[in-house]
Amino acid sequence: MEIKVLKNIMHANQQIAEDNKKMFVDKKITVINIMASPGAGKTSVILKVIEALKNKIHMGVIEGDIASSIDAEKIESIGVPVIQINTGGGCHLDANMIKTVMPDLKMQDNSIVFVENVGNLVCPSTFDLGETIKMVIASVPEGHDKPFKYTSMFAAADVIILNKTDLAPYIDFDKDMFYKGVHALRDNANVFEISCRTGNGIDKLVDWIISKHNNAD
Amino acid sequence: MEIKVLKNIMHANQQIAEDNKKMFVDKKITVINIMASPGAGKTSVILKVIEALKNKIHMGVIEGDIASSIDAEKIESIGVPVIQINTGGGCHLDANMIKTVMPDLKMQDNSIVFVENVGNLVCPSTFDLGETIKMVIASVPEGHDKPFKYTSMFAAADVIILNKTDLAPYIDFDKDMFYKGVHALRDNANVFEISCRTGNGIDKLVDWIISKHNNAD
């Protein structure tokens, strides 16, 4: 009974995700679904990438949170179109939420949309949104063992960000173990080490995003 | 349809949680359900409290993870009974999992059991385990806005730990905002500021746990 319902939900979500994907491809919109633990730096990464690409490409943001509009207010303050989705308890975004809010975001063709998922290393990985890129952000203070524990999230990632590298001197973080965990799940994983605080590594991440956007079908 | 199934699941969980609670009260076992984001320091807090109470009280640990037994191995290495639950994708522990593993933990009367839930600030808050105390651990690098975003988790907490205070000098963490968020949900919240790295504040937390254990019905 449970499983049947879950399958129905997943199937319905997948169909809407495919419609979303088709629309994104038609309009050449690169959609980046950003997933991470609470406090890993999702909003900070979005703000840094927007800062680097402003005046070069049209961008928009969809903010997912259980409650509050704290992050959407940060995005709005820098003049980028943003829509807040409050899930009201729901632990992840789904394809229909994205479909519903996209018209209000009024994106031009050839643009980039950042979707900040609910802070959660578990549930968001199983719900496709129709996104172009699944980005997972880990952060140094969370510890090097996360890829071993949250396997489906790290296995699903097209790109993995290791954020808050500026805190490494103050923390027992074993970088080799982190990479060992990542490579056990995906041996060709794209990993970028960055610090939103110092700006280290942001340039390479931005180059990668732009190359993905330019090389999309 | 969805809601009906969810209600059935919640009702079944609640009944088992009540059975667990009765058993814990009868045997004078204090069960602490520890919930937090991935990497907030759940295992470190457990290790620190065990270190302080070893040879004083009988203790055991139930480790919940999607995958791996990394944390259980850390507990086992210090000679405390531990059982690992791998949820295999599930985003929280439930009352039946606790009921199932308790006999194997072989707890004496008058003891303390730490239950480390799956790292997730969302889903675990809605599933009672029959625990004596719901403990939520936040950590400084996650940022001060977490109580505003993960409201049901912080509202459910009997005690809130603010961990990794040693990192405060390197992070823009607004402690007043953190407390504002906490007190908006529970104006009499118990909050302990600690650092598992330096040991700061652990003694007060341990005193609080012991007083709760000694004053239990």
The model carries a pTM of 0.94
Candidates A125, A98, A99; CA nearest to A35 is: A125
B148 to chain A: which residues are within 8 Å by CB?
67-68, 70
DSSP A68: -
Confidence band of B217 (pLDDT split at 50, 70, 90): low
- Phi/psi at A61 (5° precision): -135, 135
Residue B121 touches partner A, C-beta closer than 8 Å: yes
Comparing C-alpha atoms, which of A150, A131, A137 is closest to residue A190? Answer: A137
Is B164 an interface residue toward A (CB < 8 Å)?
yes
With beta carbons under 8 A apart, name residues in chain A contacting B67: 148-151
Query: Over 90: is that where the pLDDT of B78 sits?
Result: yes
Mean pLDDT of chain B: 95
CB proximity B11 to A under 8 Å: no
Residue B1: the pLDDT is 41
Starting from the edge strand earliest in sequence, which strands make up the sheet with A29-36, in order? A82-86, A58-65, A111-116, A29-36, A133-139, A159-163, A190-193
Domain range for A150 is 2-214
What pLDDT does residue B2 have? 52
| Across B13-30, average pLDDT | 98
CB contacts of B119 in chain A (<8 Å) are 37, 121, 149-150
Torsion of CA A132, A156, B143, B66, to 10 degrees: 160
Domain count, chain A: 1
Query: Which H or E element spans position B190?
Result: strand B190-193
pLDDT in tens, B187-209: 899 999 999 999 999 999 999 99
More confident residue, A4 or B73: B73
C-alpha separations of B3 from B6, B19, B133 in Å: 5, 25, 28
The model's confidence at residue A8, banded by pLDDT at 50, 70 and 90, is confident
Q: How far is CA A69 from CA A43, A72, A206, B117, in A?
A: 12, 5, 26, 28
pLDDT of residue A3: 59
pLDDT for B4 beyond 80 = no
Q: Tokens 């104006």 label which residue?
A: B187
pLDDT of residue B5 exceeding 70, the answer is no
pLDDT band at A206 (very low <50, low <70, confident <90, very high): very high
Task: State the nearest Cα–Cα gap between B206 and chain A, in angstroms.
Answer: 24
The β-bridge relationship of strands B82-86 and B111-116 is unpaired
Q: How many CB atoms lie within 10 A of CB B199?
A: 13
Mean pLDDT of A127-155: 98
* pLDDT tops 60 at residue A51: yes
Tell me whether residues A89 and B152 touch, CB distance under 8 A: yes
**Is the pLDDT score of A170 beyond 90?**
yes
The encoded tokens of residue A29 equal: 């919109």
The count of other CB atoms within 10 Å of the CB of residue A92 is 21
Asked whether B193 and B140 are in contact (CB, 8 A), the reply is no
For this complex, say whether ipTM is above 0.90: yes
pLDDT tens digits along B138-191:
999 999 999 999 999 999 999 999 999 999 999 999 999 999 999 999 989 999
Q: Is the pLDDT of residue B39 over 90?
A: yes
A60-69 mean pLDDT = 96
B68 and A170 in contact by Cβ < 8 A? no
DSSP string, B1-59: -HHHHHHHHHHHHHHHHHHHHHHHHHTTEEEEEEEESTTSSHHHHHHHHHHHHTTTSEE
Using alpha carbons, select from B142, B153, B157, B148 the residue that is nearest to residue B190.
Answer: B157
Q: Is B146 on the interface with A (CB under 8 A)?
A: yes
Give CA–CA dist A187/A208, Å, rounded: 18
Contact A68 B121 (CB under 8 A): no
Position A71 pLDDT exceeds 80: yes
Cα B73 → chain centroid? 18
- Mean per-residue pLDDT, A140-150: 98
Looking at chain B from residue 177 to 216, which residues have their Cβ under 8 Å from any Cβ of chain A? none
Q: Please tell me the predicted confidence (pLDDT) of residue B7.
A: 76
pLDDT at B113 over 60: yes
| CB within 8 Å of A26: residues ≥ 6 apart | none
**Residue B204's domain is classified under what CATH number?**
3.40.50.300
Q: Does A7 have pLDDT greater than 80?
A: no
User: Could you give the angle at which helices A2-26 and A95-105 cross, rounded to 10 degrees?
Assistant: 30
